[in-house]
Structure 1
């Protein structure tokens, strides 16, 4: 879906130019809308399962301006242990930022994500438990032929939702969190195959770090595209642990499959 502004001069030109010529010289739209919908065998956020090892349905939409500004939203089904309240079954990310690509192959991106967990509420009498939080980010990517390298820094400033003492009356102290990651992606020429590699590290202590002050996550993956469909498989692992209410280790390594459609 695409939108654009038609000016008076553009209308006058259209009346004097054949339709075919108009299509050949028509400028790119100022605003572009894109989206996707995906089913994954497990939703892992920085290496830790948000669905207790079960399937998740995900989708998102982004509105981008030619100057580089963008807004969007992305959501996924999750398990109720993700928040302290035990009432959340969805994660909704509200995203806004600015992205700029340069002729030398460098792309700069800066913005923020606000994580919302609909349906959460204070679950303990007298405390100030929280779930929703904001996380600014910045990244720089460099493309060289079919290979793209990207470095990203996410910093969630001190806020209640990151406190490690969630649910303990009178002890809620704000915490912050830092996440640094490096990613490599490559396409195999003349094929629909893409390859990815990821390495990230989380510094806490905070609700995002689980039971440890910090941990590392990594993954290797591959994708194949067919028209609007993308099929993916990746191995995701960490050097930490996180035990869910069912007794599973949500940070344990495993293979994740996915199928998605984009527009």
Structure 2
């Protein structure tokens, strides 16, 4: 469930909320689902990981009716000696309703860079989010914490965010908004913290989805300046 890990905060990477997965029953309470997307720029927490170029992304998830899930998600990135040309995420967690209209998602996620040739860029984090539905709107707040690791500078990092999605009645369109705050070793700002945000819209047509969003940060730079990101996605 790479798309549910940050709720609508996937806006910060692919710039819109990915389409709902079309689950296939495996029996025994298990189901499998997949997703793929073409994005004009892979933005993660406001930063371009594809050097502002097109990226190809996709993932697969296995979930149990109890709420537990495991999955993997990957994306092409800008080729470099440290990170290579591919990001591969692996994760496991639990997601479910804990009160009427209130859902919890918690788990652990590893960011892997299998093509990197210089050092070890892999790192991991724990995450949690709460989502609440109010009429046609869904509000999500969450946090992701990265403990101190050699690959991220031997210091920790925390990311907190808020998201909102508002479905327009009798249309396939959802309006989305996101704001996030990074503090720690993964910050790209000299003050060791920065803010990212985005505003967008998505339209879903069965398995297909198209989206557009404006993504930006409070940091000036070639990979952090505001840009419009388009996405074409499919779920299966």
Q: Point out the structure with the larger strand share.
A: 2
Deviation of 1:183 after TM superposition, in Å, equals: 0.4
What TM-score do the two structures reach when normalised by structure 2?
Answer: 0.87
Note the alpha carbon deviations across 1:41-90, whole angstroms, 9 max, x for none. Answer: 00001000001110000001111101010000000000134xxx345100
Q: Which runs of 4+ in 1 moved over 2 A?
A: none
Alignment-derived partner of residue 63 in structure 2: 64
User: How many angstroms does 1:103 deviate by?
Assistant: 4.8
Please list every run of 5 or more consecutive structure 1 residues that lacks an aligned counterpart in the other structure: 6-29, 123-128, 164-173, 243-248
How many aligned residue pairs are there? 212
- Which aligned pairs between 1:202-221 and structure 2 lie closer than 5 A? 202-204=182-184, 206=185, 208-212=186-190, 213-221=192-200
Contact 2:83–2:121 (8 Å) recurs in 1: no
Q: Check the 8 A contact 2:82/2:117 in 1, yes or no.
A: no
Highest RCO, 1 vs 2 (Cα 8 Å, sep ≥ 6):
2
Q: Distance in 1 between matches of 2:142 and 2:99?
A: 21
Q: 2:92 aligns with which of 81, 85, 96?
A: 96
The residue that corresponds to 2:126 in the other structure is: 136
Over the aligned positions, Cα root-mean-square deviation in angstroms equals 1.2
Q: Whole-Å Cα distance in 2 between the matches of residues 140 and 89 of structure 1?
A: 33
Partners in 1 of 2:111 and 2:120 — Cα distance? 11
Corresponding position of 1:246? none
| Alignment correspondent of 1:166 | none
Q: Work out which of the two has the higher radius of gyration on C-alpha atoms and give 1 or 2.
A: 1
Tell me which residue corresponds to 1:262: 235
Task: Give the deviation of 1:137 after TM superposition.
Answer: 0.3
